[in-house]
């Protein structure tokens, strides 16, 4: 068995030595932060024109994470490319010749991508929260308020899980075109649209992103009838992630490289 630390080190070298890593993660950070800040500014300036019910259910924490709807697309690209670039470049043959224990190789890759996403996700979520709250002025939430720390920490966790989901899906699909072509529209269009359609939305709320995003809510929205809480939601997402990672492993183990 190749030493675990050696393979982890190798995967770290791989991930840090390509430009796409820096670009996608920087983009995810910037888009989430800047878009969240802009939305907070808008709410702050339009506060007086909002209806009373809107004011009552206003969720300052979740509002500051509005930028994640776009920022997560960059995370999807990151997660997909981490794995599928091995296939699209042919590097997979060199990689597996160096580490023929495929489970080992896979775990190292998932661990490195997951850890990097966790660090970037946490930095992004905490910075986005504090910047957003500063711009909300009198309507801001405090990190010590009930459920707020959970929501901010959960946002970082959500970003990490999303990346892992994409890594697993990319390992199953192999081709970056296929991976991006399925995952981007799904998370950007299909899932948000289906979750707004009556009847269908009772199913759509179990989609990984819909369930996972629940953890970022501090004030439940008025039309919320989900049967799971914030941690239940993240657990549902984690199950999706586990399934994707397992599927990716089985494909990698059983198919010719």
Quote the least distance from Cβ 94 to other proteins, whole Å: 5
Nearer to other proteins, 44 or 85 (CB): 85
d(CA 156, CA 230): 14
11 binds other proteins (CB under 8 A): yes
Q: Which stretch binds other proteins (CB under 8 A): 28-36, 84-92, 150-158, 178-186?
A: 84-92
**Region 18-37 residues binding other proteins, contact defined as CB under 8 A:** 18-20
Quote the least distance from Cβ 158 to other proteins, whole Å: 28
Quote the least distance from Cβ 95 to other proteins, whole Å: 8
Rounded-to-10 torsion of CA 125, 62, 245, 116: 0
Give the list of residues 6+ apart from residue 40 with CB closer than 8 angstroms, or none: 60, 63, 64, 131, 132, 133, 135, 136
H/E run at residue 120: helix 102-136
Nearer to other proteins, 9 or 45 (CB): 9
Quote the least distance from Cβ 1 to other proteins, whole Å: 6
Quote the least distance from Cβ 107 to other proteins, whole Å: 13
Nearer to other proteins, 29 or 87 (CB): 87
Quote the least distance from Cβ 120 to other proteins, whole Å: 19
Single out the residue of 73, 86, 208, 245 in contact with other proteins (rule: CB under 8 A).
86
250 binds other proteins (CB under 8 A): no
H/E run at residue 96: helix 91-98
Task: Give 183-188's long-range contacts (Cβ < 8 A, gap of 24+).
Answer: 183/76, 183/80, 184/73, 184/76, 184/77, 187/72, 187/73, 187/76, 187/162, 188/69, 188/73
Burial of 77 (0-12, 13-18, 19+ CB in 10 A): buried
Which residues of the chain form contacts with other proteins (CB under 8 A)?
Answer: 1-3, 6-7, 9-11, 13-14, 17-20, 85-86, 89-101, 256-257
């Amino acid at each position: 068995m190749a030493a675990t630390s050696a393979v982890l080190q190798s995967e770290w070298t791989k991930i840090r030595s390509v430009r796409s890593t820096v670009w996608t993660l920087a983009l995810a950070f910037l888009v989430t932060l800047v878009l969240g800040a802009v939305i907070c500014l808008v709410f702050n300036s339009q506060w007086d024109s909002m209806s009373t019910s809107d004011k009552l259910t206003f969720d300052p924490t979740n509002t500051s994470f509005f930028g994640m709807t776009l920022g997560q697309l960059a995370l999807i690209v990151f997660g997909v490319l981490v794995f599928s670039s091995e296939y699209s470049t042919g590097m997979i043959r060199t990689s597996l010749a160096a580490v023929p224990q495929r489970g080992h190789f896979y775990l190292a890759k998932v661990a490195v991508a997951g850890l990097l996403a966790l660090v970037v996700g946490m930095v992004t979520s905490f910075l986005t929260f504090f910047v957003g709250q500063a711009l909300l002025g009198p309507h801001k939430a405090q990190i010590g308020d009930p459920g707020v720390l959970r929501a901010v920490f959960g946002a970082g966790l959500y970003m990490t899980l999303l990346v892992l989901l994409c890594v697993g899906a990319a390992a199953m699909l192999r081709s970056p075109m296929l991976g991006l072509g399925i995952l981007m529209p799904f998370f950007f269009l299909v899932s948000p649209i289906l979750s707004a359609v009556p009847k269908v939305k009772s199913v759509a709320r179990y989609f990984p992103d819909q369930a996972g995003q629940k953890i970022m809510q501090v004030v439940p929205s008025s039309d919320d009838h989900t049967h799971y809480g914030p941690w239940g939601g993240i657990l549902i997402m984690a199950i999706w992630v586990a399934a994707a990672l397992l599927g990716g492993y089985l494909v990698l183990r059983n198919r010719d490289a």
